[in-house]
Structure 1
Amino acid sequence: MSGPRPRHVTVDGRRVRHRVDGDGPPVVLLHGIGRSLRDFTAQHELLADGFRVHSIDLPGHGGSLPTPGPATLAGLARSVGGYLDAVGVEGPAHLVGNSLGGAVAMTLAVTAPPRVATLALVDSAGFGREVTVALRLLAVRPLARLLSRPSRALARRTERAIFHDPAYVTDERVAHALALARQPHAARVLAELVRELGTAGGVRPQWREELLTGVSRLDLPVLVVWGDRDRILPAGHLDAARARLPRARTHLFADCGHMPQIERADALHAMLREFWADASTGPARPVR
């Protein structure tokens, strides 16, 4: 795989780092908390054959500057809408979100339905209370500064928690994670998002209930996939997705961690193409 070729665009007066390739229907790839568009490199390059693929660094992540004021889920979703305006995407786009990016995608779908053609949610936030203890502890103000202090050891532990197969925990990935954590605004944005979305006891139920109720009311094709060895958001959340979104397609990847878009790149790529092809020809059909 070649590395990302990022560019920058101005959205509401601030710099947003993005990557755009291919021609065809628009696809938008949204990464998780504390991460960057590089988490979607494999999918970006596979999907660029047939789609106009946009990978974005969310505000306050990677090479994108934070939005004014505290970082919030609603603010992240608004920024994605602003990005689509800035790059001239007028029609609905296929949104693919991993972890926090899934919650951002759902929020945009609920608040701006004409923007969204389909939702593909990859080990997405929003379906359950359980979350890794590392993020729960970051919600405790006295601990947040200490636990978010960048170090190579912490970066390696984080990468190890994300992947089931340790072969994916490369020196290059650890170095990139450390560079992200050393961005001057990274710790603040991380802490603000963690405190808005959760507590030391887990993910807050209020925003999850509101968001899932909104998504369930949309006439929108939805695909939800999970890795069965996810140590960030456990695979049991897929059962909640099936209960709350009974028309959604779902799939559980065996021997896979929090990022099927990397550990099961080819399989997810094929699944996305089939999902979008079927969505363009008729009503979504659940696949369990």
Structure 2
Amino acid sequence: MAGRKSLRVQTRTVHGHRRAYVLAGRGPALLLLHGVGCDHHTWDPVIEHLSRRYTVIAPDLLGHGDSAKPRADYSLGGFANGMRDLLAILGIDRVTVVGHSFGGGVAMQFAYQFPQYAERLVMVAPGGLGPEVNPILRGLTLPGGSTALAVAATPPVYAALRLVGGRAHAIGLPGTADIPGALGVLKGKADPAERDAFLHVLRAVVDWKGQVVSMTDRAYLAREMPTCLVWGSRDTVLPVVHAQRARAVIPAARIEVIPGAGHFPHEEKPDQFVQILDDFIAATAPSVYDAKKWRTALRRGRAGEAARVGLRIPKDLRPEDLAGAPEPARTAG
């Protein structure tokens, strides 16, 4: 897929803080949310193609990229609120929300908090589906994590990591699939404001034991919303078996595992990613918010919904169990 044409980064002030974003294309709206430590550039390999068919909004989340980096609310709910308000300022009423990694958690939170604004939910290797997470991220939440990150981001150390890591990735050593993405996250963390914001966000969702935030307690609310999960089969940040946990709590979710991709499938396999997204949007009608159904589901709660549709989290899953799995039938009602 060809590289992205140059797009102007625009800014708006929301609640006193600068919010940066790119806006391109015409058609149904797509809100693209990046992961922790990244920015809108993670979507560079796909944004031009998507903008031919959709109105694409790709923001830098607060604390990232060209957006402000204040001492502020970096919770999932805070980010979801910020996206709602940015969309309101831009005059965009409804979106298919697409989130990668931490951004997948924000996407889920956005759909949960503001179902009337969300037409579909697409999560790309999202957090929140189990405690397992790369041990380097767990280590960065410990005392001294900021110092270690600062040292790793200094130009000479970063250059050495890039050289060694790049060569290891190039020859395909086991466990190196996500080195390019990790180096992209590390770049720029020598800046104290960017580093502090990154750690603030990370520590809100991860501690030394693993992920502390879970979407499974409210994922049943997505049963009425077209939902798709995309994962890379070689993900070393969040294990691909988490996708099947999502299927257990969102039975109608479409699951796509891209062979050979790591934690950044939209960067590594952009053509396949765009095809999956196009197919999913073409095959599904936008969700229609029904306040009565929403209230009924909330009153039943997770246990009531699980009992009603027979939800169960499978055990002992392997990545090969997911590859090529057929899309399950959508739950009626």
TM-score interval, smaller chain: 0.7 to 0.9
**CA contact 1:229–1:255 (8 Å) conserved in 2:** yes
CA 1:148–1:155: 2 relative to 1, 3 Å: farther
**CA contact 1:164–1:256 (8 Å) conserved in 2:** no
Matched, 1:188 2:196: yes
Partner of 1:133: 135
Partner of 2:300: none
Partner of 1:96: 98
- Residue of structure 1 aligned with 2:72, choices 69, 72, 84: 69
Number of positions where the alignment pairs a residue of Structure 1 with one of Structure 2: 279
CA 1:157–1:26: 2 relative to 1, 3 Å: farther
**CA contact 1:155–1:178 (8 Å) conserved in 2:** no
Partner of 2:230: 225
Between 1:66-75 and 1:81-90, the stretch displaced more is: 66-75
In 2, distance between residues paired with 1:111 and 1:148?
35
RMSD of aligned alpha carbons: 3.0
Find the residue that maps to 1:129 and give its secondary structure. Answer: coil
Structure 1 residue 196, shift from structure 2 partner: 1.7
Partner of 1:266: 271
In 2, distance between residues paired with 1:166 and 1:11?
45
- Residue of structure 2 aligned with 1:54, choices 47, 57, 74: 57
Partner of 1:246: 251
CA 1:145–1:259: 2 relative to 1, 3 Å: same
In 2, distance between residues paired with 1:93 and 1:282?
10
Flag structure 1 segments of 5+ consecutive residues without an equivalent: none
CA 1:121–1:97: 2 relative to 1, 3 Å: same
Work out the percentage of aligned pairs sharing the same amino acid. Answer: 28
- Residue of structure 1 aligned with 2:239, choices 234, 242, 245: 234
Find the residue that maps to 1:15 and give its secondary structure. Answer: strand
In 1, distance between residues paired with 2:197 and 2:147?
12
In 1, distance between residues paired with 2:125 and 2:170?
16
TM-score calculated relative to the size of structure 1? 0.86
CA 1:22–1:5: 2 relative to 1, 3 Å: same
Find the residue that maps to 1:235 and give its secondary structure. Answer: coil
In 2, distance between residues paired with 1:170 and 1:227?
14
**CA contact 1:132–1:232 (8 Å) conserved in 2:** yes
Find the residue that maps to 1:23 and give its secondary structure. Answer: coil
Flag structure 2 segments of 5+ consecutive residues without an equivalent: 289-325, 329-333
Partner of 2:34: 31
Between 1:75-84 and 1:184-193, the stretch displaced more is: 184-193
**CA contact 1:4–1:38 (8 Å) conserved in 2:** no
TM-score calculated relative to the size of structure 2? 0.75
One-letter code aligned to 1:275:
F
* Deviation readout 1:24-80 (Å, 9 max, x if unpaired): 111010100001100011221111011100111000001111355342221111111
